[in-house]
Amino acid sequence: MSVRAFPLDLAPPVFLAPMAGITDLPFRNLVAQFGAGLVVSEMVASQELLARRPGTREKAELGLGIEGTAVQIAGREAHPMAEAARMVADQGALLIDINMGCPAKKVTQGASGSALMKTPDHALRLIEAVVAAVDVPVTLKTRLGWDNGLMNAPEIAARAEAAGISMITIHGRTRCQFYKGHADWAAIHHVKDAVSIPVIANGDIQDSTTARTALQRSGGDGVMVGRAARGKPWLLAEISHALYGTPAPNIPQGERFADMVRAHYEAMLSFYGATLGLRVARKHLGWYMDTHATRADLRRLVLTETDPTRVSSLIENAFCDAPSRVAA
Rg of the chain over CA atoms, in angstroms? 20
173 assigned ligand-binding residue: no
Residue range 4-25: mean pLDDT, rounded: 89
For residue 140, give the 3-state DSSP assignment.
Answer: strand
> What residue numbers bound the domain in which 294 lies?
254-320
Mark which of 211, 244, 277 sits at the end of a domain.
Answer: 244
Same domain for 177 and 118, yes or no, is yes
Q: In the structure, what pLDDT confidence band is assigned to residue 328 with cuts at 50, 70 and 90?
A: very low
Q: Which of 189, 219, 244 is the last residue of a domain?
A: 244
Task: Compute the mean pLDDT over every residue in the chain, rounded to the nearest whole number.
Answer: 92
Q: State residue 27's pLDDT score.
A: 97
40 and 157 share one domain: yes
Segment 130-141 mean pLDDT? 97
Q: Binding residue per annotation — 171?
A: yes
Please check whether residue 13 lies inside any domain of the structure: yes
Calculate ∠ Cα 24-60-290, nearest 5°. Answer: 20
Domain end point (choices 197, 222, 244)? 244
Q: Is 260 among the domain residues?
A: yes
Q: What is the pTM of this model?
A: 0.93
176 given a catalytic annotation: no
Is position 226 annotated in a ligand binding site?
Answer: yes
76 is in an annotated binding site: no
Tell me the pLDDT tens digit for each residue of 301-319.
Answer: 999 999 999 999 999 888 8
Angle at CA of residue 139, ends 156 and 125, nearest 5°: 50
Same domain, 170 and 295: no
pLDDT at position 327 over 50: no
Of 303, 253, 314, which is closest to residue 279 (Cα–Cα)? 303
CA distances from 221 to 15, 18, 81 (A): 11, 18, 27
Same domain, 178 and 306: no
In a domain, 43, yes or no: yes
**DSSP 8-class letter at 323:** -
- Dump pLDDT digits (tens) for 173-218: 999 998 998 999 999 999 999 999 999 999 999 999 999 999 999 9
Residue 326 counted as domain residue: no
Q: Model confidence at 53, in pLDDT bands (50, 70, 90)?
A: confident
* Count of domains for the chain: 2
Quote the pLDDT of residue 183: 96
Q: Is there a single domain that holds both residue 288 and residue 145?
A: no
311 closest CA partner among 250, 269, 254? 269
How far is it, in rounded angstroms, from Cα 199 to Cα 193?
Answer: 10
Same domain (yes/no): 207, 302: no
- In a shared domain, residues 235 and 311: no
Catalytic residue among 70, 94, 102, 261: 102
**pLDDT band with cut points at 50, 70 and 90 for residue 324:** low
CATH of the domain at 78: 3.20.20.70
How wide is the angle at C-alpha 20 spanned by C-alphas 198 and 317, nearest 5°?
115
Q: 12: cis peptide before it, omega within 30°? A: yes
281 or 326: which leads in pLDDT = 281
In terms of domains, do 117 and 147 share one? Answer: yes
